[in-house]
A and B are shown apart, each in its own frame.
Chain A
Amino acid sequence: MKHLLSIEDLDRDGIVGLLDGSEYMSDVLAREIPKVPALRGKTIVSLFYEDSTRTRLSFETAAKRLGADTMTFTAGSSSVTKGESLLDTVRTIESMGIDAMVVRHASAGAPHRIANWIDASVLNAGDGRHGHPTQALLDAFTLRRHRGDISGARIGIVGDVRNSRVARSGIQCWSRLGADLTLIGPPTLMPERLEGWPVQVTFSLDDVLSELDVIYVLRVQQERIGRALLPSLREYYARWGLDAVRAQRLKPDALVMHPGPMIRGSEIATEVVDGPRSLIREQVANGVAVRMAVLWDLIGSGGVV
């Protein structure tokens, strides 16, 4: 694999291969010295056009655990208004000699554009509302560790699916692994068109709550109010929030996930976040192992570490 731009570029075996690799990296991270020289001499640059402390730190930790050199380039969207094109920026960075570029951008497809322009491997760390493939992989990895098999799991994705790159990549990843997916939320936050999507849709969380094996809660943003997508966050929470009462109606072994950053009390209750069903902290921890596996696949020898 040269680039990781979208989960769509992977088939089931490709995903499973990366999850198996992540398992190995997870073992590495559990060692007394959690570091291997697998990418020694390689240079990885993080090109972040959008603020994202957690994803950037996760990637940089992954790169360092593999012995790679890392650089960070954080560009506000101001570089655009200053007139430098994306092409010029990435060519400048490439000329410093790099093996992989980890790209976060507010616009869909920016990593795809960059992959056409440079020789280095490109890793999509989130592009607009389009995709966030490593988030999908770490979510699948986390869930697989708890369930063994994702096939047949009924997963409900609750919230702002329309504007969520996490949801788009997650749907592609989980459907390839055989999960049964239901999107839940207000119609204004559902994708405008769903032809060909491997999902069911319901506007009522309460109707499906007790049937879910996994409830994956998305962040809801205050700015949706001003754009006439929601009347209020209070109303949203009352209908679609995972509060403590709803959490009690979940199946006994149902699991709760959230990609972060979360707003406690706007979409999910504090008790649920910190409760026994929650995988939220594990998701973050697993991100490093998964990103190590992806980096190793893209710019390592491809063999066993």
Chain B
Amino acid sequence: MGTLVVRGGRVIDETGERDADVLVRDGVIVEVGPGLDAPGAQVIDADGAVVAPGLVDIQVHFREPGREDAETVETGARAAALGGFTAVVAMPNTTPPLDDAKVVGAVLEQGRRASCHVAVAGCITRGREGHELAPMGELYDLGVRIFTDDGDCVADANVMRRAFEYARALPGAVIAQHAEDPALVAGGHMHEGEWSARLGIPGRPAAAEITIVARDLELARLTGGRYHVLHMSTAGATALVRAAKAEGVRVTAEASPQHFTLTDAECASFDPVFKMNPPLRSSDDVDAIVAGLVDGTIDAIATDHAPHPPASKELAFEEAPPGMLGVETALAVAITRLVEPGVLSLRDALARLSWQPARIAGLDAHGHGLPIAPGNAANLCVIDPSETWVVDPARSASKSRNTPWAGWKLTGRVRHTILRGEPVVINGEAVR
């Protein structure tokens, strides 16, 4: 490890913003201020750019173990670093699932060499089957803080209740739900609404999310447990979370870029690149998600980065698996959709992409999302907030190509990413 200086940028973090250089030595920020230099320091050019805490994505699927043809920890982390992320939380719906200390340990080991910090979420139930609790304490001891059966909803209310209760013994742990009632979404492939009726594609009603969130909020209230709503997508669930927060329920929520930008009308193309769970919703839902991001009901932007190899999307809509890539485009979609039109300030957008999700997942304890100040780990990203670019799936660092943003002209680009004081992305190119 050496010395580097991030020079000429505008520093934006939770404490505010100012023009300053950032001097880093041995992975740690040692000084922040104007005109910094040190003998032999590597200069990281931030002229005209924003220097922010590294972004934190608390919902990615890196497919390891089991589907290394779609993504690996190595490729997913590289793609994330290119997107400005210095930390991610990998979801446990792998094969085998992350319900076992050995498997979790192996994934964490892969992450140690990766281009960003790879934390993992553990399963709530053994085998993600929804019946018996996974060894949450053992996983917690390995550093797991988010527990979820993501991909599947914990449908059994009693199991959910016990998970909330048990996790109270694990400080900082949070129970995160993929909130879609399996009975209501059975056989469904897109949002149930005008478009599904027209296209003849069986639907997944908004009520499937709203009923589960309503139930889980009551269980969180009952148990005092901590609840996190993964990829919240409906106006109804957003209203419930808003009310519950006002009443002091310990709840947080995240939304994905596609859910605050795209609608179910995209499915009229029959292209399964627009298929995901929960599905793209109506424009009213999109508006409600944006409003929730603005008023703080929704704490975090998380991508649900879900790689699938090309062949598995070269099928009919109803046959293809759900999921979209996200880590390389999340910041730019947030800037294009929220910051440019004046819905959120850049700093408020960064709050939802960095320090707020870092706190939900306990990644602040690992030096992510912290203020850019002496003594804190040098996990940083340098952003050109007004640079425009066109998304080309062929250029993705992911092993997969299933991005819904192909051909979109986006504003905001990552120039550099620095992980624990080491540049991992320089001038938009991965160097690790």
- Chain A residues in contact with chain B, CB under 8 A? 80, 83, 85-88, 105-110, 112-113, 127-131, 162-163, 165, 168, 191-197
Cβ-defined contact, B202 with A129, below 8 A: yes
Cβ-defined contact, A108 with B194, below 8 A: no
Q: Known A109-B270, A112-B270; judge A86-B316 contact (CB<8 A).
A: yes
Cβ-defined contact, B311 with A85, below 8 A: yes
Pick 9 A–B contacts, CB within 8 A, sort by A: A80-B319, A85-B312, A88-B314, A108-B270, A109-B201, A109-B270, A110-B316, A113-B270, A191-B197
Q: Is B170 an interface residue (CB 8 A)?
A: no
> How many residues on the B side are at the interface (Cβ–Cβ under 8 A)?
23
* Residue on B nearest A196 in the bound complex, by CB: B194
A87 to B309 CA separation, bound complex (whole angstroms)? 13
A162 to B270 CA separation, bound complex (whole angstroms)? 19
Q: Known A80-B315, A80-B319, A108-B318; judge A165-B270 contact (CB<8 A).
A: no
* Residue on B nearest A190 in the bound complex, by CB: B197
Q: Which of B200, B269, B270, B312 has the largest number of chain A CB atoms within 10 A?
A: B200
A106 to B199 CA separation, bound complex (whole angstroms)? 13
* Residue on A nearest B205 in the bound complex, by CB: A192
List which B158-207 residues lie within 8 A (CB) of chain A. 192-194, 196-203, 205
Distance in Å from the Cβ of B201 to the closest Cβ of chain A? 5
A188 to B199 CA separation, bound complex (whole angstroms)? 18
**Contact partners of A105 in chain B: CB under 8 A:** 316
Cβ-defined contact, B197 with A193, below 8 A: yes
**Contact partners of A83 in chain B: CB under 8 A:** 311
**Contact partners of A131 in chain B: CB under 8 A:** 200
List which B269-306 residues lie within 8 A (CB) of chain A. 269-271
A-B CB proximity, top 6 nearest? A109-B270, A129-B200, A107-B316, A87-B314, A130-B200, A107-B318
**Contact partners of A87 in chain B: CB under 8 A:** 311, 314-315
Cβ-defined contact, A85 with B201, below 8 A: no
* Residue on B nearest A163 in the bound complex, by CB: B200
Further 6 A-B residue pairs, CB within 8 A, beyond A83-B311, A192-B205, A196-B194:
A108-B316, A109-B201, A113-B271, A128-B316, A192-B196, A192-B197
Cβ-defined contact, A130 with B203, below 8 A: no
* Residue on B nearest A105 in the bound complex, by CB: B316
A162 to B192 CA separation, bound complex (whole angstroms)? 12
Q: Known A85-B314, A86-B316, A108-B316; judge A194-B200 contact (CB<8 A).
A: no
- Chain B residues in contact with chain A, CB under 8 A? 192-194, 196-203, 205, 269-271, 311-312, 314-319
Distance in Å from the Cβ of B396 to the closest Cβ of chain A? 19
Q: Known A192-B196, A193-B193; judge A128-B314 contact (CB<8 A).
A: no
**Contact partners of B198 in chain A: CB under 8 A:** 168, 196
Cβ-defined contact, A108 with B317, below 8 A: yes
**Contact partners of A193 in chain B: CB under 8 A:** 192-194, 196-197
**Contact partners of A112 in chain B: CB under 8 A:** 269-270
Cβ-defined contact, B311 with A108, below 8 A: no
* Residue on A nearest B190 in the bound complex, by CB: A108
B316 touches which of A109, A129, A194, A196 (Cβ 8 Å): A109
Decide if the interface of chain B is mainly helix, strand, loop or mixed.
loop
**Contact partners of A128 in chain B: CB under 8 A:** 200-201, 316, 318
Distance in Å from the Cβ of A103 to the closest Cβ of chain B? 10
**Contact partners of A129 in chain B: CB under 8 A:** 200-202
Cβ-defined contact, B197 with A86, below 8 A: no
A105 to B320 CA separation, bound complex (whole angstroms)? 14
**Contact partners of A86 in chain B: CB under 8 A:** 314-316, 319
A247 to B398 CA separation, bound complex (whole angstroms)? 63
Cβ-defined contact, A168 with B200, below 8 A: yes
Cβ-defined contact, A130 with B316, below 8 A: no
A113 to B319 CA separation, bound complex (whole angstroms)? 12
A87 to B319 CA separation, bound complex (whole angstroms)? 13
A194 to B318 CA separation, bound complex (whole angstroms)? 22
* Residue on B nearest A194 in the bound complex, by CB: B197
Distance in Å from the Cβ of A75 to the closest Cβ of chain B? 12
Distance in Å from the Cβ of B196 to the closest Cβ of chain A? 7
Distance in Å from the Cβ of B83 to the closest Cβ of chain A? 28
**Contact partners of B196 in chain A: CB under 8 A:** 192-193
A83 to B318 CA separation, bound complex (whole angstroms)? 15
**Contact partners of A162 in chain B: CB under 8 A:** 197
A180 to B264 CA separation, bound complex (whole angstroms)? 29
**Contact partners of B205 in chain A: CB under 8 A:** 192
A80 to B312 CA separation, bound complex (whole angstroms)? 10
**Contact partners of B193 in chain A: CB under 8 A:** 192-193
A108 to B190 CA separation, bound complex (whole angstroms)? 12
Q: Known A85-B311, A86-B315, A88-B314; judge A109-B203 contact (CB<8 A).
A: no
**Contact partners of A163 in chain B: CB under 8 A:** 200
**Contact partners of A108 in chain B: CB under 8 A:** 199-201, 270, 316-318
* Residue on A nearest B196 in the bound complex, by CB: A192
A85 to B272 CA separation, bound complex (whole angstroms)? 13
**Contact partners of A196 in chain B: CB under 8 A:** 194, 198
Distance in Å from the Cβ of B100 to the closest Cβ of chain A? 28
Cβ-defined contact, A130 with B271, below 8 A: no
Distance in Å from the Cβ of B140 to the closest Cβ of chain A? 38
* Residue on A nearest B202 in the bound complex, by CB: A129
Cβ-defined contact, B194 with A195, below 8 A: yes
A189 to B312 CA separation, bound complex (whole angstroms)? 32
A165 to B201 CA separation, bound complex (whole angstroms)? 10
Distance in Å from the Cβ of A175 to the closest Cβ of chain B? 13
**Contact partners of B318 in chain A: CB under 8 A:** 106-108, 128
A107 to B270 CA separation, bound complex (whole angstroms)? 10
**Contact partners of B197 in chain A: CB under 8 A:** 162, 191-194, 197
**Contact partners of B271 in chain A: CB under 8 A:** 113
Cβ-defined contact, A109 with B314, below 8 A: no
B315 touches which of A85, A127, A130, A191 (Cβ 8 Å): A85
Cβ-defined contact, B203 with A192, below 8 A: yes
Distance in Å from the Cβ of A131 to the closest Cβ of chain B? 7
**Contact partners of A194 in chain B: CB under 8 A:** 197
A86 to B315 CA separation, bound complex (whole angstroms)? 5
Q: Known A108-B201, A109-B270, A128-B200; judge A192-B315 contact (CB<8 A).
A: no
**Contact partners of B317 in chain A: CB under 8 A:** 107-109, 113
A196 to B197 CA separation, bound complex (whole angstroms)? 11
